[in-house]
Amino acid sequence: MTNGYDLLRIVPKNNALDTPVIDQLTSMMTAALRKCRRVSCEHGITTCSCGVRDSGEELILQGETGSLITTSLCVHFLAFHRDEVPSIELAKVANLRYGTAEPTVEELVYPQAIGSAPDRVACR
Ligand SMILES: [Zn+2]
């Protein structure tokens, strides 16, 4: 595991929303996701309550008070499980300073497919 503060490492319990929430926060998280450092980890693949799987990596961002650690499900959680994201996690996203970007289908529902970046490094 990497040292840092968790960001959107939540465990949704419900089905995905029928209509994804693509707003400022989702766009901010998308831009940050594209600039994170990816670290392969041994904890394996995480599967969301709706069946979407992550890439099995920790994604590391530089926040204002240290590193933020999230997963490739972060955009998916904001878009499809917004009703289950705690307000403190929304506040952390609002403090990101990576600009905004429109999420792709892969970032929303196939995050496991974007985990093959050649610059991945292994944990430990
Ligand atoms: Zn989900």
Task: Summarize pLDDT for 87-121 with one digit per residue, the tens.
Answer: 999 999 999 999 999 999 999 998 876 654 444 44
Cα 50 to ligand 1 centre (Å): 4
Question: Is the per-residue pLDDT at 13 higher than 50?
Answer: yes
Looking at residue 3, its pLDDT comes to: 67
Cα 27 to ligand 1 centre (Å): 17
Looking at residue 98, its pLDDT comes to: 94
Task: Summarize pLDDT for 40-97 with one digit per residue, the tens.
Answer: 876 678 899 999 998 888 899 987 778 999 999 999 999 999 999 999 999 999 999 9
Distance from C-alpha of 44 to C-alpha of 40, rounded to nearest angstrom? 9
Cα 49 to ligand 1 centre (Å): 5
> Which three-class secondary structure state does DSSP give residue 58?
strand
The residue with greater pLDDT, 1 or 39, is 39
The residue with greater pLDDT, 38 or 31, is 31
- For the segment 27-51, the average pLDDT, to the nearest whole number, is 89
Cα 45 to ligand 1 centre (Å): 14
Looking at residue 118, its pLDDT comes to: 42
Cα 111 to ligand 1 centre (Å): 11
Distance from C-alpha of 68 to C-alpha of 91, rounded to nearest angstrom? 13
Locate the domains of the chain by residue range.
5-122
Contact between 40 and 123 under an 8 Å Cβ cutoff? The reply is: yes
Strands in 20-87 per DSSP E: 37-40, 57-63, 66-70
Q: Which of 102, 36, 26 minimizes the C-alpha distance to 68?
A: 36
